[in-house]
């Protein structure tokens, strides 16, 4: 009996594999493209069962489904990057199944889903408003140190300017027109669901999967009172795009050099007295002397010319100050993808030395872990996490700006000259009153350290196919520590306040905590698909800052705060907490894939709003009509996609933390009133209408045309109050700003076959903006107070004193025939029977006209000297420029041929002015190259006094307004890639290689411009509270770290 039982058990064990095999059904097939080329690595899956496989080198896939599902129907889906996905309903049979797929290439990413501003992931072709995308392919071709550089020339309506080229500095981004007079136009930044509480400089561009850009309230209403500037959402890689059940390791190393974009040449001539041979300077008695304090002007400045060459060896201070630095990036990423779990773990090390002698530049190390896991079919969890730490030198941020002093150094001296103690001379130029910039670099420690950690945890529960519940919790913390150290014995020209040493230490911590719960419903009723979503969101933001500075060090070389004289310390600190809460409901539907509608209402509450205005409401209504889906559409071949769309929405911008409160100045223990509180203060309110037309042409080109009209009411302005109130001002909602933008983008595939392809993309935009309502008195603000804020004025218009440029601008009462327009374009008095070229020939320089009667009084004009305009108030105050460009243009081309990729991005700005304050300061000491009169004919030479008149005691004037037009070769890459098939033929599978590529990349390689400064891409943020804005609006060049060129080589290995 026992023996029979043993035999029965053994038989059962032997039959188990057969039974198990009988319980599974194999689904297999081949995936190809429309040219019958196999697609390697396509993912084929039944997502409801968490089952699937990837295609092999022959395009074949195969996976098993338990036979218990026989007779049931499921969606079988195939996905491959760059191709339109396909979904096919299949019924599981008891026997093996064969399902082949032919995928069409999605040239224009119309089937790529968008997640920003929508209820659920939505194909771009079904959007009723604008959401632009920059995908990983474009980013990886020429990855920049900041991901925002990747928007340059690729997104219509996006203005991207680095106000400084200093390594580690942030970027100014404006989407369409300006939205605020007093605040910034920076968009809301979201990374993997984390709303950033600090700026975006820590993010590694190599981690990016795609960037989605929502430009205005017509699309961004979902984000409420933080979204009138638009939303920029970055999604990073998660390992879910690699083939199923595979692991990939990618190693990338890039190294190169940074260098100045152009050679900067100062004035190489002077007006000092020389000996007869021209070989030496002479003093007042005619004795030969070296260059120095005893040199004298050759005659008066009214009749002397900057046309004498410097004797002996000469130097270029800019060549001595700027020095090519190295840059390198080391990155490694490990990805794994299975049916239930995918993850990416990456590490990156970036070093950017910049272009200044003696500077280490910027170093950032970062690590990222992203993971998605399906606990079961109805429950999924996702984790996104990131940590970075960085250190940088920051010469732009020291008290004594080294970029200022470099403008005033004579060619007769070297910045590198050292004294008998081996120290750089603080006064390299004996006639300069500015410190040697290299002395500052060598003797001031300006170090900024930063750490950043953020993360997002998302859980999704989908108990039934028409409902899911999602919960998100995210946080972002940024710590910033700064040190500015002047050791004992530090030297300065003039008042040396730092001789006994000085220490400045700062620490800032910002943290943001965000949580939301979202319920989504979706249901299909025949040809109607309906979606509804509700969300509750909670936000907490905290910022803490401390600052300590002191002078008088007890011991040299020690930057510890205990080394400061206790009687000479300045200590300050601040702490702010902001709390917000919001709710929204969103409903959308599309019928037969052609009629699309979307509606949203959001209610926002924030501690930043006045006590009587704590809650605000925002909404959006959008619709689209895909005519090409109609059965009667007559141009199905020529225009296979044709969509009209319209959207109207509202969004806001929150007041600053202190805007609603009474504030006071505290000095020496005494309080004085500053701003009056305002319980009725509301956020700014943007109302935007957007109209769009999208169409494809013969599946070879895709065109998108957009018109957006924006009105931003309730502008937040610091309004001056009368003295009787007792406060200097009050923040009020007191203005309206209007703008309109035209955008066009074209993507085209010029040719495509099995050997390669040529793709081109063109973007165009044009923006106009105006302040249409403004309650406070008009005022000047922004850098150099060059911007005039008043009703009816262009926001971006520059004002200052104007030199006459046309004879009809002369005041009434003067003899017009005694004036001419000179070769500089300025009106000058020349007298009867003279021309502006007669100055030297007739010895006219330094003479003046008789008194002439004008509406502003009697005037005498110096011969050949520029003349200031006089308005009705008898001042020279006039509009002198406009920073807004006429239009912007970007063109990118990508040629792929048998493993070779050649990519170029050209970017142009046409129109738009820059105020060159750097050049103006150079005029002060006669150091700017425009003042060099050597080589000019006597007829065209100008005196030193003429140049000083243009300097105008550093007053803002039209002479230093320059055209900011440029054309740039912004990105250029040549890359050669060995793919999987070729590597297998070369090495077999022993090395496990999937891809090896070698590339050369250039950034900012060529710039064509008439602008005389370092680079036409320059700007400043505002220096006063009444005017906000950013570098894309305030185009003032003012002693900043210049943007530089970059050329690198790289190797990428994937296995």
Q: Is the separation of the CB atoms in 867 and 828 below 8 Å?
A: yes
Counting DSSP H helices and E strands in the chain, the numbers are 9, 58
Q: Is the separation of the CB atoms in 929 and 316 below 8 Å?
A: no
Residues 620, 518 share a domain: yes
- End residue of a domain, out of 831, 846, 875: 875
Q: Which long-range contacts (CB under 8 A, 24 or more apart) does 989-992 make?
A: 991/1055, 992/1055
Please give the residue range of the domain that contains residue 72.
2-103
pLDDT at 356 over 60: yes
Q: Is the separation of the CB atoms in 1039 and 918 below 8 Å?
A: yes
pLDDT at 5 over 70: no
Which of the two residues, 256 and 1019, has the higher pLDDT score? 256
pLDDT digits (tens, 9 = 90+) for 862-883: 999 999 999 988 999 999 999 9
Q: What is the pLDDT of residue 17?
A: 46
Q: What is the pLDDT of residue 232?
A: 92
Q: What is the pLDDT of residue 1029?
A: 66
Structure tokens that stand for 150 in this block: 């990747």
The DSSP bridge pattern shows strands 729-733 and 670-676 to be parallel
Residue 860: φ, ψ to 5°: -120, 135
pLDDT at 388 over 70: yes
Mean pLDDT of the chain: 90
Once rounded to an integer, what is the mean pLDDT over residues 394-398? Answer: 76
Residues 946, 895 share a domain: yes
Closest among 138, 89, 134, 129 to 112, alpha carbons compared: 134
Residues 434, 331 share a domain: yes
Q: What gap in Å lies between CA 252 and CA 978, rounded to an integer?
A: 15
Residue 204: φ, ψ to 5°: -90, 125
Secondary structure (H, E, C), 802-858:
CECCCHHHCCCCCCHHHEEECCCCCEEECCCCCCCCCCCCCCCCCCECCCEEECCEE
Residue 109: φ, ψ to 5°: 60, 30
Torsion of CA 681, 181, 740, 680, to 10 degrees: 10
Once rounded to an integer, what is the mean pLDDT over residues 386-391? Answer: 95
Residue 533 belongs to some domain of the structure? yes
Residue 51 belongs to some domain of the structure? yes
Q: At CA 321, angle to CA 316 and CA 322, rounded to 5?
A: 100
The residues pairing with 599 across neighbouring beta strands, listed in sequence order, are: 587, 621
Helices 917-924 & 944-951, crossing angle to 10 degrees? 140
pLDDT digits (tens, 9 = 90+) for 695-716: 999 989 999 999 999 999 999 9
Residue 24 belongs to some domain of the structure? yes
Q: Give the burial class of 278: count Cβ atoms within 10 A of its Cβ; 0-12 exposed, 13-18 middle, 19 or more buried.
A: exposed
DSSP code string of 451-469: EEEEEEEEEEEEEETTEEE
Residue 281 belongs to some domain of the structure? no
Q: What is the pLDDT of residue 1025?
A: 56
Once rounded to an integer, what is the mean pLDDT over residues 664-684? Answer: 86
Once rounded to an integer, what is the mean pLDDT over residues 202-225? Answer: 88
Which of the two residues, 117 and 685, has the higher pLDDT score? 685
Q: What gap in Å lies between CA 438 and CA 775, rounded to an integer?
A: 48
The DSSP bridge pattern shows strands 308-309 and 288-289 to be unpaired
Closest among 866, 828, 840 to 946, alpha carbons compared: 866
pLDDT at 386 over 90: yes
Closest among 957, 963, 1044, 951 to 1011, alpha carbons compared: 963
Closest among 409, 381, 393, 403 to 446, alpha carbons compared: 393
Once rounded to an integer, what is the mean pLDDT over residues 266-291? Answer: 94
Residues 812, 781 share a domain: no
Residues 529, 475 share a domain: yes
pLDDT grade for 754, boundaries at 50, 70 and 90: confident
Structure tokens that stand for 261 in this block: 């974009």
Residues 716, 648 share a domain: yes
Q: Which long-range contacts (CB under 8 A, 24 or more apart) does 397-403 make?
A: 397/446, 397/448, 397/482, 397/484, 398/440, 398/444, 398/446, 398/484, 399/484, 400/435, 400/440, 400/444, 400/492, 401/1039, 402/321, 402/437, 402/438, 402/440, 402/441, 403/437, 403/918, 403/1039, 403/1040, 403/1041
pLDDT at 757 over 70: yes
How many percent of the chain have pLDDT more than 90? 67
Residue 935 belongs to some domain of the structure? yes
pLDDT at 968 over 70: yes
pLDDT grade for 644, boundaries at 50, 70 and 90: very high
Sheet containing strand 787-789, strands side by side: 779-781, 787-789, 797-801, 877-882
Residues 392, 504 share a domain: yes
Report the residue count for the chain.
1055
Domain count for the chain, please give it: 3
- End residue of a domain, out of 875, 906, 934: 875
What is the model's pTM?
0.90
**Displacement of CA 378 from its chain's centroid (Å):** 40
Residues 702, 586 share a domain: yes
Q: What gap in Å lies between CA 237 and CA 241, rounded to an integer?
A: 8
pLDDT grade for 753, boundaries at 50, 70 and 90: confident
Q: Is the separation of the CB atoms in 260 and 1005 below 8 Å?
A: no
Residue 222 belongs to some domain of the structure? no
Residues 717, 834 share a domain: no
Residues 1028, 889 share a domain: yes
pLDDT digits (tens, 9 = 90+) for 63-79: 989 988 888 889 899 98
Q: What is the pLDDT of residue 912?
A: 95
Closest among 111, 110, 106, 90 to 44, alpha carbons compared: 90
pLDDT grade for 1026, boundaries at 50, 70 and 90: low
Residue 218 belongs to some domain of the structure? no
- End residue of a domain, out of 848, 875, 902: 875
Once rounded to an integer, what is the mean pLDDT over residues 234-253? Answer: 92
pLDDT digits (tens, 9 = 90+) for 820-841: 999 999 999 999 999 999 999 9
3-state class (DSSP) for residue 484: strand
The CATH number of residue 9's host domain is: 2.60.40.10
pLDDT at 3 over 60: no
Q: What is the pLDDT of residue 668?
A: 66
Q: Is the separation of the CB atoms in 966 and 1011 below 8 Å?
A: yes
Residue 218: φ, ψ to 5°: -60, -20
The CATH number of residue 961's host domain is: 2.40.170.20
Structure tokens that stand for 726 in this block: 């007792």
Among 395-399, 469-473, 808-812, the least confident range: 395-399
pLDDT at 571 over 80: yes
Residue 178 belongs to some domain of the structure? no
pLDDT at 365 over 80: yes
pLDDT digits (tens, 9 = 90+) for 531-560: 999 999 999 999 999 999 999 999 999 999
Residues 810, 794 share a domain: no
Q: Is the separation of the CB atoms in 369 and 344 below 8 Å?
A: yes
Closest among 74, 73, 68 to 23, alpha carbons compared: 68
pLDDT at 14 over 50: no
The C-alpha R_g of the chain, in whole angstroms, comes to 34
Once rounded to an integer, what is the mean pLDDT over residues 260-275? Answer: 92
Residue 946: φ, ψ to 5°: -60, -45
Residues 833, 692 share a domain: no
Q: What is the pLDDT of residue 752?
A: 87
pLDDT digits (tens, 9 = 90+) for 972-1008: 999 999 988 888 888 888 788 989 999 999 999 999 9
How distant, in Å, are the alpha carbons of 63, 776, 922, 926, 936 from that of 269? 80, 49, 14, 9, 12
Residue showing tokens 């990338």: 252
Closest among 599, 467, 536, 743 to 118, alpha carbons compared: 599
């Amino acid at each position: 009996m026992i023996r029979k039982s043993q035999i029965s058990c053994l038989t059962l064990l032997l039959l188990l594999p057969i039974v198990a095999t009988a319980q599974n059904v194999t689904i297999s097939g081949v995936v190809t493209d429309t040219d019958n080329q196999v697609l390697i690595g396509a993912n084929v899956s039944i997502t409801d069962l968490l089952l699937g496989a990837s295609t092999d080198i022959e395009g074949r896939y195969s996976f098993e489904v338990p036979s218990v599902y026989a007779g049931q129907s499921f969606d079988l889906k195939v996905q491959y990057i760059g191709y339109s996905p396909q979904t096919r309903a299949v019924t599981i049979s008891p026997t093996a199944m064969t399902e082949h797929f032919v995928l069409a290439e999605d040239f224009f990413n119309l089937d790529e889903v968008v997640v920003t501003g929508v209820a659920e992931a939505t194909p771009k072709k079904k959007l009723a408003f604008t959401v632009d995308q920059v995908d990983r392919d474009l980013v990886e071709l020429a990855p920049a140190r900041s991901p925002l550089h990747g928007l340059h020339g690729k997104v219509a309506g996006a203005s991207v300017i680095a106000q400084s080229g200093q390594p580690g500095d942030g970027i100014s981004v404006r989407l369409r027109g300006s939205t605020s007079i007093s605040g910034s136009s920076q968009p809301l930044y979201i990374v993997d669901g984390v709303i950033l509480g600090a700026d975006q400089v820590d993010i590694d561009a190599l981690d990016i999967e795609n960037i989605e850009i929502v430009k205005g309230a017509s699309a961004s209403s979902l984000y409420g009172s933080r979204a009138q500037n638009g939303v920029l959402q970055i999604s990073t890689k998660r390992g879910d795009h690699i083939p199923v059940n595979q692991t990939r390791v990618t190693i990338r190393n890039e190294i190169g050099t940074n260098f100045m974009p152009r050679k900067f040449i100062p004035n190489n001539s002077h007006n000092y007295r020389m000996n007869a041979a021209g070989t030496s300077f002479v003093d007042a008695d005619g004795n030969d002397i070296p260059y120095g304090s005893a040199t004298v002007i050759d005659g008066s400045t009214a009749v002397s010319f900057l046309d004498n060459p410097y004797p002996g060896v000469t130097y270029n201070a800019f060549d001595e100050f700027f020095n090519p630095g190295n840059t390198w990036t080391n990155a490694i990423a490990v990805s794994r993808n299975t049916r239930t779990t995918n993850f990416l773990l990456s590490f990156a090390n970036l070093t950017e030395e910049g272009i200044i002698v003696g500077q280490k530049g910027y170093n950032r190390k970062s690590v990222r872990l992203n993971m998605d896991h399906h606990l079961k079919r109805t429950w999924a969890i996702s984790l996104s996490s990131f940590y970075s730490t960085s250190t940088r030198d920051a010469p732009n941020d020291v008290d004594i700006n080294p970029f200022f002093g470099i403008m005033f150094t004579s060619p007769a001296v070297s910045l590198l000259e050292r004294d008998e103690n081996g120290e750089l001379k603080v006064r390299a130029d004996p006639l300069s009153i500015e410190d040697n910039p290299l002395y500052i670099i060598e003797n001031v420690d300006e170090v900024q350290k930063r750490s950043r950690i953020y993360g997002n945890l998302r859980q999704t529960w989908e108990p039934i196919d028409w409902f899911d519940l999602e919960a998100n919790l995210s946080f972002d913390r940024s710590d910033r520590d700064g040190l500015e150290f002047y050791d004992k014995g530090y030297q300065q020209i003039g008042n040396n306040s730092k001789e006994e040493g000085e220490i400045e230490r700062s620490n800032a911590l910002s943290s943001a905590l965000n949580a939301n719960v979202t319920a989504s419903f979706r249901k299909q009723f025949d040809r109607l698909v309906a979606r509804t979503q509700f969300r509750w969101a909670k936000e907490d933001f905290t910022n803490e800052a401390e600052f300590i500075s002191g002078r008088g060090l007890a011991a040299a070389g020690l930057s510890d705060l205990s080394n400061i004289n206790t009687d000479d310390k300045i200590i300050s600190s601040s702490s702010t907490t902001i709390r917000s809460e919001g709710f929204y409901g969103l409903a959308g539907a599309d019928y037969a894939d052609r009629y699309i509608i979307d509606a949203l209402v959001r209610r926002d509450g924030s501690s930043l709003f006045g006590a009587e205005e704590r809650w605000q409401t925002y909404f959006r209504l959008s619709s689209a009509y895909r005519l090409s889906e109609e059965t009667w559409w007559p141009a199905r071949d020529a225009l296979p996609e044709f969509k009209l769309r319209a959207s109207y929405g509202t969004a806001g911008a929150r007041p600053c933390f202190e805007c609603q409160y009474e504030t006071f100045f505290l000095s020496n223990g005494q309080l004085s009133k500053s701003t009056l509180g305002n319980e009725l203060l509301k956020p700014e309110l943007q109302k935007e209408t957007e109209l769009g037309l999208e169409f494809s042409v013969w599946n070879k080109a895709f065109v998108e045309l957009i018109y957006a009209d924006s009105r931003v009411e309730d502008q937040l302005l610091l309004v001056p109050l009368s003295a009787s109130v007792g406060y200097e001002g009050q923040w009020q909602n007191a203005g309206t700003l209007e703008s309109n933008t035209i955008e066009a983008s074209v993507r085209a595939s010029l040719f495509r076959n099995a050997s390669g392809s040529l793709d081109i993309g063109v973007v165009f935009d044009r923006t106009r903006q105006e302040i249409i309502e403004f309650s406070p008195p008009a005022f000047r603000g922004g850098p150099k107070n060059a911007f005039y804020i008043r009703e009816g004025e262009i926001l971006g218009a520059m004002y200052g004193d104007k030199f006459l440029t046309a004879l009809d601008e002369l005041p009434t009462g003067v003899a017009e025939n005694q004036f001419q327009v000179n070769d500089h374009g300025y009106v000058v008095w020349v007298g009867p029977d003279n021309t502006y070229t007669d100055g030297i020939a007739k010895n006219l320089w330094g003479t003046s006209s008789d008194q002439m009667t004008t509406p502003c009084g009697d005037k005498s004009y110096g011969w050949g000297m520029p003349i200031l305009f006089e308005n009705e108030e008898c001042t020279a105050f006039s509009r002198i420029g406009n920073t807004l460009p006429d239009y912007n243009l970007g063109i990118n081309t990508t040629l792929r041929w048998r493993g070779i990729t050649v990519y170029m991005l050209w970017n142009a700005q046409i129109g738009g002015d820059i105020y060159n304050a750097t050049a103006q300061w150079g005029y002060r000491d006669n150091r700017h190259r425009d003042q060099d009169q050597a080589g000019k004919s006597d007829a065209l030479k100008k005196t030193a006094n003429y140049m000083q008149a243009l300097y105008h005691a550093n007053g803002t004037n039209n002479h230093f307004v320059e055209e900011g037009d440029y054309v740039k070769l912004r990105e250029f890459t040549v890359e050669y890639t060995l793919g999987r098939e070729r590597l297998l033929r070369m090495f077999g599978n022993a090395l496990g290689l999937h891809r090896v590529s070698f590339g050369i990349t250039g950034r900012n390689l060529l710039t064509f411009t008439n602008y005389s400064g370092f680079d036409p891409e320059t700007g400043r943020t505002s220096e006063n509270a009444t005017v906000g804005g950013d570098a894309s609006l305030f185009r003032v060049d003012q002693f900043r770290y210049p943007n530089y060129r970059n050329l690198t080589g790289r190797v990428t290995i994937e296995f």
